[in-house]
Structure 1
Amino acid sequence: MAGHETHYTLPLPEFDKAPKLLIVVAPYYKDIADQLVAGACAEIEKVGGTHEVIEVPGALEVPTAIGQAHRMSNFDGFVALGCVIRGETTHYDTVCNDSSRAIALLGLQGACIGNGI
């Protein structure tokens, strides 16, 4: 039954050195984005990590910002956050597909990314 399913939660990792993470958020739906950022910050702090947060205009800009930071900064990993809500047009599909594809490609190129879009 769907109402009684339990979901597995990965144990928190342990690090020899505190990780430095960049959270990139698209705050188009600000109330939702703020909650996503708060949750990510709390989890990062639980493992002793540090973080910085930057905002970009929308979900399509998140991978670009992560790609630039990966090439030009010294972050150990990245968290992509945002909310895309389905409307009456196909824009939702484009934004979701293209942002997730770009994030996956960055991961394949060596960036450590958690995708929360």
Structure 2
Amino acid sequence: MASSQEHTVLPRPTFDRPVKVLIVVSPYYSDIADGLLTGAKAELEAAGAGYDVVEMPGALEIPTAIGISDRQNNYDGYVALGCVIRGETTHYETVCNDSSRALQLLGLQGLCIGNGILTVENKEQADVRAAPEGQNKGGGAAAAALHLIALARKGSQTGKGIGFKPLGQDTLMAGDADGKTTA
């Protein structure tokens, strides 16, 4: 069983200015969603991060909700929470693959997203993974978002612009070494 395997947990990142996260959760399986949400909130609170929570009907709507929120709001990161349990049809593969792929594409565009959408064979697996005192995948998704936010902020402090120098940095023009041009 996966819960008996040890794994490395990175130290929680620290921040020098406030962090605001949006948790997008699907309560399709409400008891599982509640466990995921409890773990995510605890991790964000431990890091001193503020958060809002919105609910979506299912896992497929979570990436769209994150994309809309990113265009309309000013969140530093996102936590996606939900559960997909295998059924009798191929709908399971569609929901798992498409929700995961959409979150990955948003991440590659620069959004800091912790993916806590469980993809399991049965409810028992989901219960173990969702429980804050169990595998705490909600807390893990929040931690992933926090680490991505820390990385994004670290990158934004280097002054490495794309095409333009940040305001206040001098640019030498052709001419003298002190930046004064000669005619």
> Could you list the per-position Cα deviations for residues 21-79 of structure 1 after superposition, in whole angstroms to 9, with x for gaps in the alignment?
00000110000001101100000000100000000000000000000011110000000
Match of 2:84 in 1: 84
- Aligned partner of residue 84 in structure 1, secondary structure: strand
Match of 2:40 in 1: 40
Which structure: larger Rg?
Answer: 2
Q: How does 1:58-73 map to 2 (within 5 A)?
A: 58-73=58-73
**How many percent of aligned residue pairs carry the same amino acid?**
66
Q: Please list every run of at least 4 consecutive aligned residues from structure 1 whose deviation after the TM superposition is greater than 2 angstroms.
A: 2-5
With a CA cutoff of 8 Å and minimum separation of 6, indicate the structure with the bigger relative contact order: 1
Match of 1:30 in 2: 30
Query: In terms of mean alpha carbon deviation, does 5-14 or 59-68 score higher?
Result: 5-14
- Aligned partner of residue 7 in structure 1, secondary structure: coil
- Aligned partner of residue 83 in structure 1, secondary structure: strand
Structure 2 runs not aligned, ≥5 long: 118-183
The number of aligned residues is: 116
Structure 1 runs not aligned, ≥5 long: none
Instruction: Give RMSD over aligned pairs.
Output: 1.2
